A = this chain, B = another copy of it.
Amino acid sequence: MPTVPNAVLFTKEEITELQQELGRPSLMGKSLQDLIASTDAFISQPIEVPGHGEAGGYEHNKHKQNYQFINQAGRLFLVTGDEKYAQFCADLLSAYADKYLQLDFHIQRNTNPPGRLFHQILNEHVFLLYTSLGYSCISHWLSAQQRQHIIDGLFQPMLDMFTIKYDFDFDRIHNHGLWAVAAVAICGVATGQDKYVEMSIHGLAGDDEKGGFLAQISQLFAPSGYYMEGPYYHRYAIRPLCLFAELVHRYRPELDIFNFKDQVIGKTIKAMLATAYPNGVFPALNDASLTMDIKDAGVIVAVSLYAKHYPQDINLLGMAKIQQQVWVNSCGLALSKAYEAQSVPMPFWPSVELNEGPNGDRGGQAFLRMKNAQQDISQLAMNYGQHGMGHGHFDTLGISFFNNGQEVLREYGFGRWVNVEPKFGGRYLDENKSYARQTIAHNLVSIDSSCQNDFDVALADSRHGTPHFFSGDSECVQGVSAIAKEFYPGVNQQRSVLMIKHSELAQPLLLDLFKINSDVPHQYDYALQYQGQIIRTNFDYQTHPVLETMGDSAGYQHLWNVAQGKTDQHACVSWLQGNSYYTWHAACHGGDEIFFTRTGANDPSFNLRSESGLVLRRQGQNTLFANVLETHGYFNEAIEASTDARGKVEQIHIIGSDDTGSVVAITGNNINLIIMVSNVEGVTPDTEHQVEFNGQTYRWQGYLAVTEQRVK
């Protein structure tokens, strides 16, 4: 087919098709309208090529905007034919070509080599990628002299820098490496130098093993498609991945890239999307912001790409419903048309367990989802996979929970104010290590006021959680269970979390059984991170007249001990978050103590957010924490409405627990549940269980069982 001269990702026919969407109310029509509005606003300003600047500072932002709008304007020139877009690209690219080689390299600040525009070449890769795409759309409009000037002054020096000067950083198996190879390949096509396509696909060594795109996508993802650094980094890596895949599809059709390695590209896109909360925000697994969502540019590209090259999936169209935007390209057009052809509901992704590791045998990540009568989706995420390398948090068996449009058991996310220049240039802060990555900052048990694997990254990377069971098909009861051995010396932890629907309740219950076996006694801190206002408790506690920290290391030094109280038998704490009430019930032992905490201690520069948490502390050796979280009622202060502020669950009670199983009772207003959960390693759906506690025998088959005893 005849292509536009040099346009990397557009054919003439595709452009004609896109032109028909101008002014239409389709997703593509809206995306074009947005693109035009933002581009017109930017190109109405004088062009400016600044020098070096701080990460997050003015110059940094200006370079970012410049590459972004070169990319946008290039595409708009093709779609609208308006020469002002070509002129803008030409002027700005020429200005860069004038100046680029006069700029020195930045001073190296981190492990990433410095560029001439940015403090790290990662940003310079992104610059090359987008300016090459934009250039490729207008190069046929330029004079030969203009083209040569831009190539000689800008593109070729960048290509040389990436592939020669920093060759050691070029095609390594890492998410940054994807940007490098995508940028070089795209610039190769744009400047008519096929050798760069070749080395980007197959690696500098040409062996498809040590580097290059094929090696990267073969090795970076688990068979499930999960990316070990978590969705925040996944969505960043997916952008160059998809752009490069589309290039390979067009220029190396013989590689059949979308079927490559058992459709790894489609699989990893779906795995990434399957982690998202129902509102499209990604859970902050490992170092991550709390707000990154599927409207990110990379996810926009990925959903569009999937729609064009893989079978239709209604949940994928549902993601486009949240995004309200498509990639302006033939992939986005395919998505826009599919979306327009039907009534698309909000997405409801099936519950899924995503395995980790190159062979899928290094633990996993579980995502359980249930929808209630009001179409609200509750989502549990549980981590029992790999550590996540330098960005890994020490939270194996940690959970987060979402419903009613908000994260309820929350992640703290990273200790970083991304791109906020006065906050250490927007880079990671000391508190990321001293608090955010520590076990106590998450929703799980910390032992002896210390961190899993003693905050040793190498040790943590050598370990992973072990799946015990996963049951995500039922509409009424779902569950996941996993084991973490030796994350603390001599300690074996098993966590089983269930979501249970009940006819009396508006939302599923979240049952959490955290079982610990140890060879010696320890102090166990079962921690929950919540948001909102405490409404009531069923036990006495004392707020402290003077605040001290919860400890002096492992993140405890950042927690104020706001209040504490002793509990036995049964404790409950209710809080109000947004429009919902939540009540947490815990089966307690004599001697248990509950602490109300708040972050912010030992934080000399106000780097931490002030957030609230609960810690249930128990001295013990072998123990079971049995807790249930009820979501109930409604509060709307603006209209002064409040209903069911107390909830219906009254108690959780441990009937018994041994190596075969744990049996607990949840009782309340017309609620009388008995829940049985398997503790048998290697349990299958066929495994028969029988346990006897207090003279009563409990039998069930498979992972778990829930029965309701009607009160006489």
Interface residues of A (CB under 8 A from B): 56, 58, 61, 289-293, 295-296, 417-423, 426, 533-536, 542-543, 545-549, 560, 562-563, 574, 576, 596, 598, 600-606, 609-610, 612, 635, 637-646
In the docked arrangement, what's the CA distance between A545 and B645, Å?
37
Report chain B residues within 8 Å CB of A534: 605-606
Q: A547-B547, A548-B546, A560-B547 are in contact. Are A419 and B640 (CB under 8 A)?
A: yes
Q: Is the CB of A610 within 8 A of B598?
A: yes
Q: Is the CB of A638 within 8 A of B289?
A: yes
Report chain B residues within 8 Å CB of A598: 600, 610
Q: Is the CB of A638 within 8 A of B293?
A: yes
For residue A236, give the distance in angstroms from its CB to the closest CB of chain B. 10
Closest to A422 in B: B536
Closest to A62 in B: B643
Q: A543-B603, A562-B600, A600-B562 are in contact. Are A420 and B576 (CB under 8 A)?
A: yes
Report chain B residues within 8 Å CB of A418: 637, 640, 642
Q: Is the CB of A543 within 8 A of B604?
A: yes
In the docked arrangement, what's the CA distance between A563 and B606, Å?
10
Among B61, B419, B602, contact of A543 (Cβ-Cβ < 8 Å):
B602
In the docked arrangement, what's the CA distance between A610 and B419, Å?
27
Excluding A289-B640, A426-B642, 9 further A-B contacts by CB distance (< 8 Å) are A421-B646, A422-B646, A533-B606, A543-B604, A545-B549, A547-B560, A596-B606, A598-B600, A610-B612
In the docked arrangement, what's the CA distance between A610 and B599, Å?
12
Closest to A612 in B: B610
Q: Which of A290, A547, A635 has the most CB of B within 10 A?
A: A547
Among B56, B562, B576, contact of A642 (Cβ-Cβ < 8 Å):
B56
Q: A600-B562, A606-B534 are in contact. Are A641 and B295 (CB under 8 A)?
A: no
In the docked arrangement, what's the CA distance between A420 and B560, Å?
27
Among B423, B549, B645, contact of A535 (Cβ-Cβ < 8 Å):
B423
In the docked arrangement, what's the CA distance between A574 and B548, Å?
27
Closest to A540 in B: B604
Q: Is the CB of A289 within 8 A of B637?
A: yes
In the docked arrangement, what's the CA distance between A534 and B610, Å?
11
In the docked arrangement, what's the CA distance between A548 and B542, Å?
16
For residue A327, give the distance in angstroms from its CB to the closest CB of chain B. 16
In the docked arrangement, what's the CA distance between A596 and B600, Å?
12
Q: A535-B422, A546-B546 are in contact. Are A56 and B606 (CB under 8 A)?
A: no
Closest to A600 in B: B562
For residue A191, give the distance in angstroms from its CB to the closest CB of chain B. 29
For residue A466, give the distance in angstroms from its CB to the closest CB of chain B. 35
In the docked arrangement, what's the CA distance between A417 and B547, Å?
25
For residue A457, give the distance in angstroms from its CB to the closest CB of chain B. 25
For residue A386, give the distance in angstroms from its CB to the closest CB of chain B. 25
Closest to A236 in B: B640
Q: Is the CB of A639 within 8 A of B296?
A: yes
Closest to A603 in B: B543
Q: Which of A543, A562, A576, A606 has the most CB of B within 10 A?
A: A606
For residue A50, give the distance in angstroms from its CB to the closest CB of chain B. 13
A to B CB contacts below 8 Å, 16 in the list: A58-B644, A61-B641, A61-B642, A289-B637, A289-B640, A291-B638, A419-B635, A419-B640, A420-B635, A423-B535, A543-B603, A546-B548, A547-B560, A563-B606, A598-B610, A610-B610
Q: A547-B560, A560-B547 are in contact. Are A641 and B610 (CB under 8 A)?
A: no
Q: Is the CB of A642 within 8 A of B420?
A: yes
For residue A646, give the distance in angstroms from its CB to the closest CB of chain B. 6
Report chain B residues within 8 Å CB of A641: 61, 419
Closest to A638 in B: B291
Report chain B residues within 8 Å CB of A638: 289, 291-293, 295-296
